[in-house]
Amino acid sequence: MRKEHQYLFIDFEFTMPERSERFKGFYPEIIEAGIVSVVNDQICEKFSSYVTPNRFPMLSDRCKSFLKISQEQVNSGISFTDLVKKFEQLSSPSLDLTIVTWGNMDMRVLRNNCEQAGLPFPLKGEELDLSMEYKRFFGDQNQTGLWKAVQEYGKEGTGKHHKALDDALTTYNIFRLVEKDKKYLQGHAPTTIGDRIDFSQVLNKFA
């Protein structure tokens, strides 16, 4: 990681609709946020909270079942406005910032939720979709799921999948593994054909 550089590893869980009139005009809203702030390769802060949705405050049965999140948990969560304020507090104006997510959905939903709430987008920095970085680095045809990616490294994800802070920590761990592999490859120049073949032995054969 670059010196004096801040990374925010972010994961959100969102609302999910049922097919009913009650969810007409639906758009996904953040209901759980996990954030890991890293400066100079050191975790400075971990943040986790449920978030109360504005547009559709009642969770669908599908959402509660899939994410294992209860209505009571989101009802007791912070407001979306408070989540935006938290991002403003976390990002240091004196440091370059990179926002790292697994996939592009998290930032798309955050932007849309800000627009719907009439709030400015709180993060000013480079955005890195680590799933695409992982795909390019390993030459995969398709994007790999977060926990499958960490298992391909022979590791296990942190905590439980689809728990926002656990997934943010798992994203951070994969980022470190990929960065380590990149440095290893940069430190080893590709071999030339002369390195692989002993030409003196070849010439002796035909002497």
Give 36-88 pLDDT, tens digit per residue: 999 988 999 999 999 999 999 999 999 999 999 999 999 999 999 999 999 99
Residue 49, beta-bridge partner list: 33
Residue 189 has pLDDT above 70, yes or no: no
For the whole model, what pTM was predicted?
0.82
Give residue-wise pLDDT tens across range 113-142: 999 999 999 999 999 999 998 888 777 666
Assign 196 a pLDDT band (cuts: 50, 70, 90).
Answer: very low
Tokens of 62: 């599908």
Question: Average of pLDDT values for 184-206?
Answer: 49
Number of residues that this document lists for the chain:
207
Computed over every residue of the chain, the mean pLDDT equals: 85
What angle, rounded to 10 degrees, do the helices at 164-186 and 130-138 form?
40
Sheet containing 42-50, strands listed edge to edge, beginning at the edge strand earlier in sequence: 42-50, 30-39, 5-14, 96-101, 126-129
Domain ranges, ordered by start, for the chain: 5-206
Residue carrying structure tokens 């656990």: 166
The top-level CATH class assigned to 5-206 is: alpha beta
CA 41 vs CA 1, 5, 143, 180, 197: distances in Å = 6, 9, 26, 12, 41
How much of the chain, in percent, has pLDDT values that exceed 70? 83
Burial class (CB in 10 A: 0-12, 13-18, 19+), 24: exposed
Q: How far apart are CA 183 and CA 40, in angstroms?
A: 16
Of 58-62, 95-99, 148-152, 203-207, least confident by mean pLDDT is 203-207
The pLDDT of residue 106:
97
* H/E element, 126: strand 126-129
Q: What DSSP assignment string belongs to 9-56? A: EEEEEE----SSGGGTT----EEEEEEEEEETTEEEEEEEEEB--SS-
What angle, rounded to 10 degrees, do the helices at 105-117 and 80-90 form?
120
Work out the end-to-end distance of the chain between its first and last CA atoms, rounded to an integer number of angstroms: 54
How much of the chain, in percent, has pLDDT values that exceed 90? 60
Alpha helices (H) along the chain: 61-67, 71-75, 80-90, 105-117, 130-138, 146-152, 164-186, 193-196, 199-206
Catalytic positions, written as ranges: 13, 162
- Chain Cα centroid distance, residue 164: 10
